[in-house]
């Protein structure tokens, strides 16, 4: 058996998230079908991040075993020739036998894209959250980001029924930027809870609208704080799994340009 890692890019609007679903088509199932066909026996795939339904990926990483050794480029081309619409393998490499896309990941990075123009280009509309109106101070929201950095209990930034036993996560970078009509939030951390980035954005927009002060974000980490006072969960279409860091040189060839 030979272990491989592949970097996948996909349009999350076409799938019910990354993880296998009993009655809905997921990205994981789609990739496993193709690899199993090429391998002539079942292949299980492990993903670095479990993106929800509607969430996109620029660079999801998965690991899997093939019963025979393939040339990396040939396997990459065979995979792309058979993957369904909306999924592309951007690069692929052989790895050490014990490599695991999820458990060996040191840092995951997400970006949430928003559009603030009065009109919108149709080709970007499926991949951004369109915020209408000009009564937003994104500088204030940017200031609030610093309170999200560091190690915190992110229970108030998680879907209630999905809060894990240990909701503490370490955010290495939380930055919000604006250029023209584009506003984007970049979040890099050790791991993420369900809906976490989308709920962070829902709270930051309350600051941008002037309904809350930047320091208010801190109160959401206090014991006994009420999630009901927090902002709404932003829709999935603006969110991308952007990068996975392993602290090692993983990719040998077929380097991406974006």
The 8-class DSSP code of residue 118 comes to S
Mind listing the domains of the chain with CATH numbers? 2-104 (3.30.70.580), 107-241 (3.30.70.660)
Catalytic, 165? Answer: no
Dump pLDDT digits (tens) for 119-169. Answer: 999 999 999 999 987 789 999 999 999 999 999 999 999 987 778 889 999
Q: How far apart are CA 136 and CA 131, in angstroms?
A: 10
Confirm if 56 and 10 have CB atoms less than 8 A apart: yes
Confirm if 107 and 244 have CB atoms less than 8 A apart: yes
Dump pLDDT digits (tens) for 212-254. Answer: 999 999 999 987 666 555 678 999 999 999 999 998 788 865 5
Q: How far apart are CA 153 and CA 34, in angstroms?
A: 39
**pLDDT at position 224:** 67
pTM, to two decimals: 0.93
Determine whether 211 is exposed, middle or buried from the number of CB atoms within 10 Å of its CB (0-12, 13-18, 19+): exposed
Dump pLDDT digits (tens) for 32-62. Answer: 999 999 999 999 999 999 999 999 999 999 9
Q: How distant, in Å, are the alpha carbons of 3, 36, 44, 175 from that of 66?
A: 6, 9, 10, 40
Mean pLDDT value across the chain: 93
Q: How far apart are CA 30 and CA 16, in angstroms?
A: 11
Handedness of CA 115, 116, 122, 126 (dihedral sign): positive
| DSSP collapsed to 3 states, 27-83 | HHHHHHHHHHHHHCCCCCCEECCCCCCCCEEEEEEEEEEECCCCCHHHHHHHHHHHC
Confirm if 181 and 158 have CB atoms less than 8 A apart: no
Dump pLDDT digits (tens) for 106-121. Answer: 999 999 999 999 999 9
Q: How far apart are CA 108 and CA 6, in angstroms?
A: 16
Angle between helices 27-39 and 72-82 (to 10 degrees): 120
Dump pLDDT digits (tens) for 82-99. Answer: 999 999 999 999 999 999
pLDDT greater than 90 at residue 199:
yes
Helices (H) and strands (E) in the chain, counts: 4, 10
**pLDDT at position 163:** 82
Query: Residue 119 has which token pair?
Result: 């009109």
Q: How far apart are CA 12 and CA 86, in angstroms?
A: 8
């Amino acid at each position: 058996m030979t272990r491989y890692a592949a970097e996948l890019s996909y349009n999350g609007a076409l799938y019910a998230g990354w993880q296998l679903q009993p009655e809905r088509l997921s990205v994981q199932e789609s990739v496993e079908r193709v690899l199993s066909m090429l391998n002539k026996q079942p292949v299980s795939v492990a993903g670095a991040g479990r993106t929800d339904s509607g969430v996109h990926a620029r660079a999801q990483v998965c690991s899997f075993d093939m019963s025979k050794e393939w040339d990396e480029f040939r396997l990459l081309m065979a995979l792309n020739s058979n993957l369904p619409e909306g999924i592309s393998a951007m690069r692929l490499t052989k790895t050490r036998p014990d490599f695991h896309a999820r458990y060996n990941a040191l840092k995951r990075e997400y970006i949430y894209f928003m559009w603030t123009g009065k009109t919108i280009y149709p080709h970007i509309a499926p991949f951004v959250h369109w915020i209408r109106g000009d009564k937003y101070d994104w500088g204030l929201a940017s200031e609030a980001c610093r309170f999200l950095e560091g190690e915190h209990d992110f229970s108030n930034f998680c879907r209630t029924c999905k809060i894990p036993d240990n909701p503490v996560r370490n955010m290495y970078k939380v930055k919000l930027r604006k250029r023209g009509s584009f506003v984007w939030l970049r979040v890099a951390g050790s791991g993420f809870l369900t809906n976490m980035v989308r709920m962070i954005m829902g709270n930051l927009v309350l600051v941008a609208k002037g309904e809350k002060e930047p320091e208010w974000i801190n109160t959401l980490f206090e014991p006994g704080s009420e999630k009901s006072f927090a902002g709404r969960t932003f829709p999935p279409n603006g969110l991308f799994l952007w990068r996975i860091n392993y602290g090692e040189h993983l990719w040998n060839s077929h380097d991406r340009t974006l």
